[in-house]
Structure 1
């Protein structure tokens, strides 16, 4: 896979992760359906946040590593 495709995939993972985090926060704070579900609703909103964090945080570090590596190769 080329660097450009890899960077695009990583950016998509970050976007999906942030979207899931925001969905989990919305469900936890503002959704009446989740509130009516009780503990299961809390678990659903917590899983959205957890999966979102798992998608977004490691990909940010790897994407930063790739971009720094690319910059140093261009400057040499």
Structure 2
């Protein structure tokens, strides 16, 4: 897999992760989720947890790649 394809894949995963975090936050304050009770809480927490798991490692990798590119440009 080339670097461009890998970066595109990681950026896509990061965007999906952020979207899941926002969806979980929306579920936290939604009346529908509150009416579901414990299942609603699990749904909200699950969305946030999966979103964080998808977004954090990709951000660290992308930061490392961008720092390497910047160092290469300086040299």
Q: CA deviation at 1:71?
A: 2.4
Match of 1:46 in 2: 45
TM-score of the superposed pair, with normalisation by structure 2: 0.91
TM-score of the superposed pair, with normalisation by structure 1: 0.90
Partner Cα distance (2:32, 2:8) in 1: 35
Report the number of matched residues: 75
Q: CA deviation at 1:36?
A: 0.7
Runs of 5+ unmatched residues, structure 2: none
Runs of 4+ displaced beyond 4 Å? none
Partner Cα distance (1:5, 1:45) in 2: 31
